[in-house]
């Protein structure tokens, strides 16, 4: 039986009341529930490596080989010449900033239900940890029209258009990266029926995850997002000027 991303999210609800989410901007001291120690996360105090992720130019004639090597040695890589317009990346960052700057009571109007798949809330991995993470997020699966109308009654269509265009570009990029990875293994389009009739993976369900890491009064003792492995087939992370996932800033992710 074929399960979609929505099926998985619905069958694994998040049992964390959103009423517990604080107004991060009003806190001057780190609450105990947000204070992490090594026993809360084994990787919390792990030293960072001097090595850096492979950087791959998608216009390189040997790109498939480079992607294959990065997948087998790292499981992740950075890319350039990806074809996503910089104007669109500016738009999605503007949308993310506009969303998370809203007052908490406004954001909660579009809160994700425990068994829901879209909306405002905490990270889905939060229920696996004893401590809370210094971050907030917004998940988009399908049309964000209803949720965005609750957030921006007069401007929701403008923001919906940005999400739609961003998702279209992420789907195209994901399909390209998928075929590069499969090609490095000698797998061709005729070998993968679930890629769709024109091999564009349009039958696969995608999610857009917007994350925000507010200014923290004690960042050395807090965790923005705990170490984890995404349960989806592929994650594309838009890398902005934020130095790390546990520091101030916002990120946009697309899951396939």
Residuewise pLDDT in 10s, the chain (256 residues): 455 666 666 666 666 666 667 888 888 999 999 999 877 765 555 555 667 889 999 999 999 999 999 999 999 999 999 999 999 999 999 999 999 999 999 999 999 987 788 999 988 888 888 899 999 999 999 999 999 999 999 999 999 999 999 999 999 999 899 889 988 888 877 777 655 555 566 667 789 999 999 999 999 999 998 888 887 788 999 977 665 443 345 555 555 4
Cα–Cα distance for residue pair 124/122, rounded to 1 Å: 6
Cα–Cα distance for residue pair 193/31, rounded to 1 Å: 51
Is 34 domain-assigned?
A: no
Burial class (CB in 10 A: 0-12, 13-18, 19+), 12: exposed
Residue range(s) defining the domain that contains residue 132: 47-255
Is 31 domain-assigned?
A: no
Is 167 domain-assigned?
A: yes
Is 35 domain-assigned?
A: no
Q: What is the CATH number of the domain that holds 111?
A: 2.60.120.330
Q: How many domains does the chain have?
A: 1
Cα–Cα distance for residue pair 250/256, rounded to 1 Å: 20
Is 117 domain-assigned?
A: yes
Cα–Cα distance for residue pair 120/209, rounded to 1 Å: 10
């Amino acid at each position: 039986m074929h399960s979609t991303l929505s099926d998985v999210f619905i069958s694994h609800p998040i049992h964390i009341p959103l009423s517990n989410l604080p107004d991060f901007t009003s806190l001057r001291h780190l609450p105990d529930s947000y204070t992490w120690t090594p026993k809360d996360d084994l990787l919390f105090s792990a030293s960072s490596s001097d090595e850096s992720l492979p950087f791959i130019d998608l216009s390189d004639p040997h790109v498939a080989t480079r992607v294959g090597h990065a997948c087998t040695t790292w499981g992740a890589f950075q890319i350039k010449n990806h074809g996503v317009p910089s104007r669109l990346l500016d738009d999605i960052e503007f949308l993310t900033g506009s969303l998370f700057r809203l007052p908490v009571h406004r954001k909660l109007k579009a809160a994700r239900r425990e068994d829901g798949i879209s909306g405002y809330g905490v990270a889905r991995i939060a229920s696996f940890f004893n401590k809370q993470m210094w971050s907030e997020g917004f998940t988009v699966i399908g049309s964000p029209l209803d949720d965005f109308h609750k957030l921006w009654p007069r401007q929701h269509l403008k923001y919906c258009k940005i999400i739609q265009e961003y998702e279209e570009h992420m789907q195209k990029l994901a399909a390209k990266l998928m075929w590069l990875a499969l090609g490095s293994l000698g797998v061709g389009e005729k070998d993968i029926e679930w890629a769709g009739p024109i091999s564009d993976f349009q039958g696969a369900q995608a999610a857009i995850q917007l994350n925000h890491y507010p200014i923290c009064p004690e960042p050395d003792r807090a965790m923005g997002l705990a170490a984890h492995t995404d349960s989806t087939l592929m994650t594309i992370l838009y890398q902005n000027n934020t130095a790390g996932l546990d520091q101030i800033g916002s990120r946009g992710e697309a899951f396939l």
